[in-house]
Structure formats: structure tokens, C-alpha cells
Amino acid sequence: MAPRPYKPATQKTLKTAIGCTGTGLHTGARVSMTLAPASPGTGIVFRRTDLSAEAGTIAASWRNVVDTRLCTALGNDQGARVGTIEHLMAALYGCEIDNAIIELDAPEVPVMDGSAAPFVFLIECAGTVDQAAVRRGIEIRRTIEVVDEDCRLVIEPARGFGLNFEIDFADTAIARQACELEFAPGSFKADLSRARTFGFAQDIDRLQAAGLARGGSLDNAVVISGNRILNDDGLRYDDEFVRHKMLDCVGDLYLAGAPLLGQVTALRSGHRHNHKLLTALFADPAAYRYVDLPDGFLMPRPAAASAGLGLGAAD
Ligand SMILES: [Zn+2]
């Protein structure tokens, strides 16, 4: 069979603005959010509508990460923050949205059901449009590794985007879970988007006493007490916990500003490691390069085909 002629992927944005309201997981604050179309090259930009445009604009970039303790929070030099961005970022990645303005009237993205599925639903309701600009990805050219006590996160060169994750919580309903996923069209929605955030009952009591996780409940998290899952309906995937860790990683890594082409391997990693990985990657100019993406999900063109086309990779 003859190879398909090369056709570049175009950037995408939303066809129309669409909104929702919900509660912030950590602040407990009621929040209205609107996902709005944006012009090519904008990227994903958060805008706090309760602040002035100058004070309340924060680009969704790893450079703007200000906290990774319980969620990933972004901030700007004027002191504005937006927390719990990772599930929304994962949905934008999974739906291949390059450009969007995210308007919020409070400092936290609504938690919805604790997964990315409600955001995928919103994006699908709004629809997407192709834009007159080529979609670019970031090709990993050298292995980058973050090791932190018994946690490990690695990204290495690969043809597409793949995740291989393992978590390990002794003496709980989670125990050891491992999951491997090679991304293809539809795989984010089917395989990761519905995985909810989770917490331990005793930690939630402690966090709420400290004024955190104020919006957390059985409606937006899987809650574990020892070997029991307290949610009446049980789990959405047998290995929902490790899949949620993968969802978080997809969202955090989209703060690279473009899709990554690499294989991610993770052991007990979290938001902090995801941010450290991007910081280490972008500190090493030889570790990555920008490439034009072909039509289809995230597969770079073969190296031989990129010679002489003028559209090829630029360092
Ligand atoms: Zn999460």
C-alpha cells in the first residue's frame, strides 16, 4: 500500500464559547467557567474575570506553576492564581484543542465529578474548528529523568505519546496498580477521561480541618477508608486510581505548550514530578525540538520524509 501523502495537522480551537458552573475542590468556592475560542498561536490562556485583564491573565505554561502540593496551580507576577487546572488541561489535550481562553470568576477550576469527562463533554458540545496554522509538537530527543526518593518519572524519545504508570499504596483498597497506554484517536476519552481523583477518608478530615479540600465529597472523588471504597457506585475502571494519575500527568504535561512526542514511564509520581520533568526538559536545549505534526493523532512524520520540505523541524 502506498504511504499516505503528508498532510500537516492544523491548530484547533472551539467552534463557540461554552460554560459551566461548579465548585472548587480546595477552596469550596462556587465558580463559573467559560471555554472560549482563541486565535492561532494563542495557546491555552486562563483569564480571571473577577480581576482586571492585566492582573488576571495567566498563560497555561509550566513557567507559571506556583504550587504542586495537592493540585497544579498557576500564578502570575501580579499575585493572581488559578488552581486545579490539570483535569481541564487533560481534556483540552485529549480533544486536541491548541487555542482557548478559559474565563473564571474565582481562583479555581470547578472540580465537577473529579474527572476530565465533564470537560470533554463541554468541548464536544461546543465543537472544534480547524485554524489556518500548522499544529506543532515537541519531539523528545534525549531521555529526561526525575528521581525523588522512591518516585521516578522519565520521558524518552518515541514515535508517539505513550504512558506506562505504576502506583503502590500498601494496605489500602488501591494496593499496586499498573497501566500502559499508547495514545491514539479517542483513547484519552475512552481510557482516561472518566477516572476520578481520589483521597483517603482520614486525610480528607485532616485537610478540611486545615481549610483545604473544602469542596471535596463523594460527588467529586473516590474516597477510600482502609480496604473499603466509600462511594456507593464503586469504581469506573478497575484500575481507576492509576488511570487518574495518568490523567493528571497528561494535563500537567500539556503545560509544555504543545503535545509531547515521547514515552513517559512513572513510578509513584505526582504533580511535583510532572512539573520537575518539564523544567528539566526545557533546561536542556538538546533534549527536544519543535516539529510540525501531520494530520492524525500526534505521530510525527518519518525522519526521511521531512528532508527538503521546508516545513520540517526547527530547533
Ligand atoms: Zn487529579
3-state secondary structure 66-80: EECCCCCEEECCCCC
Query: 67 pairs with which residues across the strands?
Result: 73
Please give the distance, rounded to the nearest whole angstrom, from the Cα atom of residue 71 to the centre of ligand 1. Answer: 7
| CATH superfamily placement of domain 10-306 | lpxc deacetylase, domain 2 (3.30.1700.10)
Spatial contact of 292 and 136, defined as CB atoms under 8 Å apart: yes
Q: How far apart are CA 106 and CA 231, in angstroms?
A: 28
E-assigned strand segments in the chain: 10-14, 18-23, 30-37, 44-48, 57-59, 65-67, 73-75, 81-82, 100-104, 128-134, 136-140, 144-148, 151-156, 161-169, 175-182, 198-200, 222-225, 228-229, 260-267, 288-292
CB atoms within 10 A of CB 245: 26
CB atoms within 10 A of CB 38: 20
CB atoms within 10 A of CB 35: 26
Q: How far apart are CA 315 and CA 309, in angstroms?
A: 16
- With CA atoms as reference, report the closest residue to 168 among 241, 230, 99: 241
End-to-end CA distance of the chain: 33
Q: Say how far residue 87 (Cα) sits from the centre of its chain.
A: 6
Q: Where are the alpha helices (DSSP H) in 111-159?
A: 117-126
pLDDT value of position 313: 40
Please give the distance, rounded to the nearest whole angstrom, from the Cα atom of residue 315 to the centre of ligand 1. Answer: 33
Please give the distance, rounded to the nearest whole angstrom, from the Cα atom of residue 223 to the centre of ligand 1. Answer: 13
Q: Would you give the DSSP letter of residue 230? A: -
In tens digits, the chain (315 residues) has pLDDT values of: 566 667 789 999 999 999 999 999 888 889 999 999 999 999 999 999 999 999 999 999 999 999 999 899 999 999 999 999 999 999 999 999 999 999 999 999 999 999 999 999 999 999 999 999 999 999 999 999 999 999 999 999 998 899 999 999 887 888 899 999 998 888 999 999 999 999 888 888 888 888 777 888 888 999 999 889 999 999 999 999 999 999 999 999 999 999 999 999 999 999 999 999 999 999 999 999 999 998 776 655 454 444 333 333 433
Residues with CB under 5 A from ligand 1 (ion): 197, 248
Q: Say how far residue 296 (Cα) sits from the centre of its chain.
A: 20
> Cα-flanking dihedrals φ and ψ of residue 26, to 5°?
-95, -40
Q: How far apart are CA 59 and CA 43, in angstroms?
A: 8
pLDDT value of position 217: 84
Please give the distance, rounded to the nearest whole angstrom, from the Cα atom of residue 244 to the centre of ligand 1. Answer: 6
Enter the pTM of the model: 0.92
Q: What is the CA radius of gyration of the chain?
A: 19
Catalytically active residues are 271
